[in-house]
Amino acid sequence: MDRREFVQAGGAVAASMVAVNAGVHVADAKTPETQRLKEGFIDAHSHIWGRNIDEFPLAKGQTLADLNPASFNDQELLEACRPWGVERVVLIQHHIYHGFDNQYLVDAAKRHPDRFRVVGMVNDLTPEPGKQMKALHQNRVTGLRITPWIRGADVWLTGPGMAEMWATGAETGQAMCCLIDPSDLSAVSRMCVRFPKTPVVIDHFARIGVDGLIRDEDLGQLCKLAKHPQVKVKISAYYALGKKKPPHDELVPMIRKLLDAYGPERLMWASDAPYQMTEGNSYQASIELITERLEFLTDSDREWLLRKTAASTYDFELA
């Protein structure tokens, strides 16, 4: 048995163990690939990048020395996630390395059309951002990342271009995926009122607990956003929140309150790889918080958190 066969065999065993603990069926290595894809888990948030920068240049004149980790391409992602029963992934545009150029992720999704969907980025200050969104939609870009970190919290949701993006999302079903802090939740709520048919996803619990403190008032604001039925939340990026190390049990009360507010159909698990795989954290610890440590979840809840919410949000085919 060579190294690749050993990894694949070990991955099949690990996936089966995770599935049993989760109370969710996941096919083993002997199951046809199409069935494994549908029955496996979905990671709703991972970044990838590679070292082929001649073909896919880095933004702002960055070089290979700026990549950290030095490489995390689509194959490395699949090697990391498949041993834990994850067969499909939503790839998130990484503005730090590629700016608004979505081609690296689009290329990966083209090569793995059944495994990947893409959350891209469009500059709302450029002409016809809605037209750009529709063109990207044809290339499996089923969400758009938006964030105040680029332009500033006071103006990031203002202007005709951003309004056009939200209106286009209502038309195409592409979600507005918000990388925000708790202080930005009220602004998102106002946009939800203006555009009640636009799908919205809040990334990483709105970064509640990024300073180590999970404040009731912040969690209350995120729960309050559940009044807008088009809003969903990613329970993700555990490495960056609370104690920032496994087993991440301090996040359990927050997940339970969000479950009460949103229901399982509007929550989705995600890793935020490769960052979840650094500094004592691991992909395993991320998914096992859902599969093993949340005793209040039913099997149906886990189906939604680990597969069905992401599948419906990002236009994956469901089993």
Q: Where are the domains of the chain?
A: 3-313
Cα 276 to its chain centre, rounded Å, is 12
Residue 115's identity, in one-letter code, is: R
pTM recorded for the entire structure: 0.91
Instruction: Tell me the per-residue pLDDT of 26-57, one tens digit each, with 9 for 90 and over.
Output: 666 667 777 878 789 999 999 999 999 999 99
Q: What does the pLDDT read at residue 29?
A: 60
Q: How far apart are alpha carbons 310 and 200 in whole angstroms? A: 12
pLDDT value at residue 10: 44
Count CB neighbours of 155 within 10 A: 10
Give the orientation angle of helix 185-194 with respect to helix 216-224, to 10 degrees: 10
CA distances 218 to 222, 238, 292, Å, are 6, 17, 27
The pLDDT of residue 21: 56
Q: What is the pLDDT of residues 195-237, one digit of tens each?
A: 999 999 999 999 999 999 999 999 999 999 999 999 999 999 9
Residue tagged 């918080």 (tokens): 289
Can you give the pLDDT at residue 1? 34
Check pLDDT > 90 for residue 316: yes
Question: Does the pLDDT at position 303 exceed 70?
Answer: yes
Q: Is the pLDDT of residue 16 over 70?
A: no
- Rounded to 5 degrees, φ, ψ at 219 are -65, -35
Q: Mean pLDDT over residues 248-265, rounded?
A: 98
Q: Stretch 168-174: mean pLDDT, rounded?
A: 98
For a pLDDT cut of 90, what percent of the chain falls above it?
86
CATH superfamily of 3-313: Metal-dependent hydrolases (3.20.20.140)
